[in-house]
Amino acid sequence: MQSFGAAGDRSYTDASIRVAEWITTASEGRLVVEPFASGAILPKGKELDGLIKGSVEAIHAPCGWHVSIFPAASFFCQSVGGLTGVQNMLWMLVGGGNELATRMYSELDLQFITNLTIHPAEVWAHSTVALNSMDDIKGLKIRLGTTELSSIFERLGATPVFLPGGEIYESCQRGVIDAFEYITPSLNWGMGFHEITDYLYLSPSRAPSDSQSLIINGDAWNELTPGLQMIVKNAAESVGPLFFAESVAMDAEALDWYTDYGTHVENLPKDIEDTLLTTAKEYYIEQAAKDPFYAEVYDSLQAFIEICELQGIR
């Protein structure tokens, strides 16, 4: 199993490795899962290609990287103004999310299991320059993790750059990018991002949560007995909530680390936040009008947000 996470990324150490150990232990060695960090077997960002070809039997990767094949894939990963981490877990388990993702990946003879890493609201951006208003977004060279997010930021006047997480540090250090989005404060601290940027902007608007999924090659999945399949599902569905709970606790502490280091930790200016939310909603509605499955996923997600809001579940 290859992970999207680099060796120093908590997504790899506390999720990819953890689920591999849990499956191996629960199966009493009948199913041994060997995890590999990003780039160890397949080129970074090419995990899905290798899974389809059978170069690896499983991947832990963001669905949002697969939008060139499945335009709706980002909704299972993150979306602007979308699901919080708690809402994400509930939608996937009982709101239809897992079923929709399973249908989607079955077109490639792949078995979607569930979201293996579930994060709280992401850092809106780490930046080498101050972001005081929409004027500062114009021309900003910003690393974004999905082509869909890039399309939205292009409408804001930014200059999106796609890079796998493992290439962010060096690219920012060399001036290839001015800013970047990447997961949460605690995880990003472990990546050393405080060493290469002066500003950390907080806002749940861009990614109220973020998830990466466990996906298995169809042939490899079908070779497993029903009992082993159940062990895989149960392990994955247990790792995700634990990872989320750990992240919530660690993120609060990590923000103090940044402040103590000298990073300017600030809330994102409201005009940037509001413009992003409005632009993203327009984009999603436009895409939904072109693609029935995209519309089905978007409508399901929005309906579940309403259910959660009515009950005060955030």
CATH number, domain of 101, equals: 3.40.190.170
Same structural domain for residues 166 and 258? yes
In a domain, 55, yes or no: yes
Pick from 246, 261, 268, 117: which is nearest to 186 by CA?
Answer: 246
In a domain, 198, yes or no: yes
Number of domains in the chain: 2
Predicted local confidence at residue 13, as pLDDT:
95
Say whether pLDDT at 146 is over 90: no
Same structural domain for residues 41 and 174? no
Mean pLDDT score, 50-79: 96
In a domain, 262, yes or no: yes
Same structural domain for residues 159 and 280? yes
Say whether pLDDT at 8 is over 90: no
How many other C-beta atoms lie within 10 A of the C-beta of residue 116? 25
> What is this structure's pTM?
0.92
> Band of the pLDDT at 166, cuts 50, 70, 90?
confident
Same structural domain for residues 197 and 224? no
Mean pLDDT score, 149-155: 96
Mean pLDDT score, 16-39: 98
pLDDT, tens digit, for every residue of 73-119? 999 999 999 999 999 999 999 999 999 999 999 999 999 999 999 99
In b/e form, how buried is each residue of 21-48, taking b as 16+ CB within 10 angstroms?
Answer: ebbbebbeeebebebbbbbeebebbbbb
Same structural domain for residues 37 and 107? yes
Same structural domain for residues 21 and 138? no
**Residue 17, both tokens:** 């490795």
Same structural domain for residues 225 and 280? no
Same structural domain for residues 8 and 36? yes
Same structural domain for residues 139 and 28? no
Pick from 65, 233, 88: which is nearest to 162 by CA?
Answer: 65
Q: Are 42 and 2 in contact (CB under 8 A)?
A: yes
Mean pLDDT score, 161-189: 94
Name the residue with higher pLDDT: 109 or 7.
109
Q: Are 6 and 38 in contact (CB under 8 A)?
A: yes
In a domain, 61, yes or no: yes
Question: In sequence order, what are the residues at sequence separation of 6 or more whose Cβ sits closer than 8 angstroms to the Cβ of residue 234?
Answer: 26
Mean pLDDT score, 2-13: 92
Domain boundary pick from 236, 252, 268: 252
Same structural domain for residues 160 and 186? yes
pLDDT, tens digit, for every residue of 214-268? 999 999 999 999 999 999 999 999 999 999 999 999 999 999 999 999 999 999 9
- The percent of residues in the chain predicted with pLDDT above 90, rounded, is 94
Predicted local confidence at residue 165, as pLDDT:
85
In a domain, 79, yes or no: no
Mean pLDDT over the full length of the chain: 96
In a domain, 94, yes or no: yes
Same structural domain for residues 48 and 105? yes
Same structural domain for residues 236 and 137? no
pLDDT, tens digit, for every residue of 66-79? 999 999 999 999 99
In a domain, 78, yes or no: no
- Domain interval for residue 153: 123-207+254-310
In a domain, 66, yes or no: yes
DSSP-derived pairing of the beta strands 159-161 and 141-143? parallel
